Structure 1
Amino acid sequence: MIKTIELFAGVGGFRLGLERSNEFKVVWSNQYEPLTKIQHASDVYKARFPGANHSDIDIAKVIDEDFESIPDHDLLVGGFPCQDYSVARTLKKSSGIQGKKGVLWWSIHAILKNKTNPPKYLMLENVDRLLKSPVSQRGRDFAIMLASLSDLGYVVEWRVINAADYGMPQRRKRVYIMAYKSDSDIGKEIKKLKSPVDWITNKGVMQEAFPMQVNSTPSKPDKYFVIEGDLDEITNNTVDYTSKVRPFDTIGVMIDRKVYTDSAAAEYKGKKKTLGSILEDEKDIPVEFFISKADLDKWAYLKGAKKEERTASSGHVYYYSEGPVTFPDALDRASRTIVTGEGGKGASRFKHVVETPSGRLRRLTPVELERLNMFPDNHTEGATDAKRAFFMGNALVVGVVERLGKSLASRLK
């Protein structure tokens, strides 16, 4: 059994995906939201996993005051908070690893550094913007993470995975990061290879779970570089990480701070789920999810293309423009990415709207949002509809973790 701890656990997406394979056992978890008195996500977690060794205390406080409560483990997983570089924020507001949420990366780092027996393996998830954050120094934050992991003795691989590219019902693009202690069986295997390219294109854990075809010649020299300097020097580096340079591509591996990275495309020929395939029967939909005729014009306006003259607070006049959003959403393909604001009756450009067989338009229900992330039906039951939508907007696609877990477990056998 692979003993696992789950940090920034939300409502348990990592746990669900890993424990479906019966090879993993989550021995400790932590979920804490600093901006609210009631720990809504943690309450859902405890309700769905009764008896779990679960903490709802600030992870930084746990590390400082009760570090021994974190049990030894083989695998550390977490979708560490990404609000500071989320696609839901404008790029210039992205403060990256120095922002309030971004600093929680150092909680992971502290556990790895201070554990007498640190985990041999890591599985992490974040928005793909992490690879080019912050706006003023593209890729600096990811370089700091990679360098700090290398200094702690880990080999790291990553790839940007769009769940829909592999048959899952939602177009949700995220960067997944896996790390292996250099003295672990997998770490030793990687370091023995003649070329790191072999690992990410042929023999690797992530390649087995999510096959990709690298887009260019592996020998191109600009695909290789070394992350130099201590962490403070990387932070202050405005030469290698400029506002225009993007050193980290969609797929990559780092060994002893030596990086190979490239762009890659998904390889998948299996069945694909669609938005239409996960919808509940129209007769089971509560009336409040249907859009009234009086509100249709407002929805159509927000979803439509527009170019409007607007005046800034400074008095400057400018034109605001945006393209149309499909309205209603197409049922014959994977859904658009779920956002945290899916809940509530108010008209929105970003909320999903589907047309029923009778021709009526409606929003998605909490159960349908859960299905798009491949959670069990009613996993978040007990919270308000708005909170349930918020949870799913923050969650990962469970099917991605399930496949990565199976690939890792097969290697460890």
Structure 2
Amino acid sequence: MKILFYNGSLRMGGAEKILVEILNGLDKKDKEIDLVISDNVLGENFFEKELPKEVKLTYLISSDLIEKTKFYKSRKKNIFYKIMYNYYMRREQKEKTINLAKFLKDKKYDVVVDFDMGLSKNIDLVDAKKRIAWIHSPIDSWYRKKDKIKRLGDRLKKYNTLVTICDDMKEKTEKLYPFLKDKLVRIYNPFDIEKIQDQSKDLSEITEEKRVLLKEGYIISVGRLDNYSKDYYTLLKGFKGAKERGLTEKLYILGEGEERKLIESWIDELDLKNDVILLGKYRNPYPWIKNAKLFVHSSRFEGLPTVLIEALICGVPVISSDCPTGPSEILKEGTIGLLYDVGDSETLKKQILELLKNSIEYKNYKERAIKRSLDFRKEISLELIEKELLEGK
């Protein structure tokens, strides 16, 4: 059986982590698997080393071209650099299409898995008996214009199966595209629970100097430093309010992104320089999560937030924004962890204080977290994925 997987990158991210988990978990007997990745970003292909040896990897866009685009993007407030940035973005798209066509020439597949829907504009180039697309977040959260949403829906008609990663997202996609109803399935992301629990004890990536931080009382948040989607300002305001009411714990934010300087400016503005630490990016985030007293998630929108489930696996009580989609489903409407309305820093403040002060409730949430995490174990999801790959062969 010949299978093609496609994704935009192998950078450190939730979707990329799940892709690698799937590729490692699949039964590769009698399967030939090609993995095509759009962006070759030198120094940032974090998951390349974790790919199984049986998977054949191909990149489409050269690292040199990506570096030039990044250079002009970082300076695009200047009109000249903005023009150059747009030019190199078009160059990237052209190189991607040309190299994809070259790669696919004379190739035939039983199944193509478009893991981030980045292949949808070129899906007709793929000769495959079955086409599967993965939907990782609500479509109307990243396509705001109605004409773009409509065009994507037209392209998705060309797929046999559309995988959504939670029930709420399945319902929202069906409402957006009623004509795709019979193609939609829900498959939770697979999690290797034993592996994550083992990695949570592995401190090899953490310097001796930083290990001291693990011993302090702290709350943690994990995610890309992007305020539009992750809403770090609400997190910082809620934390600030809790500090003013006597909270002694610090806040660690694990992740990296283009808005680091903006978030640092807010930390200064709120007089939190001694209480908030931006840890940066770690390949293994689990020791930081496991040793935290609380995990706080402040997103405006999500798909099925990987980090929430990882926090449950590590047995850490969770507070999350009730954003679309995923948190309410993962936390069973607030019975597994606490939920607050998106942007409501006042409620977040109260929940942090109340949960840390109530030792009985705190213990209950720890126990519920571990029990709930078992619903996301990889064996369940991989069985469903194998079924979807094999059906209609």
**Band the TM-score falls in, shorter-chain normalisation:** 0.3 to 0.5
Under a length normalisation based on structure 1, what TM-score does the superposition of the two structures give?
A: 0.39
What is the TM-score with the length of structure 2 in the denominator? 0.41
- Greater fraction of residues in helix: 2
Q: Which structure carries more relative contact order (alpha carbon 8 Å, separation 6+)?
A: 1
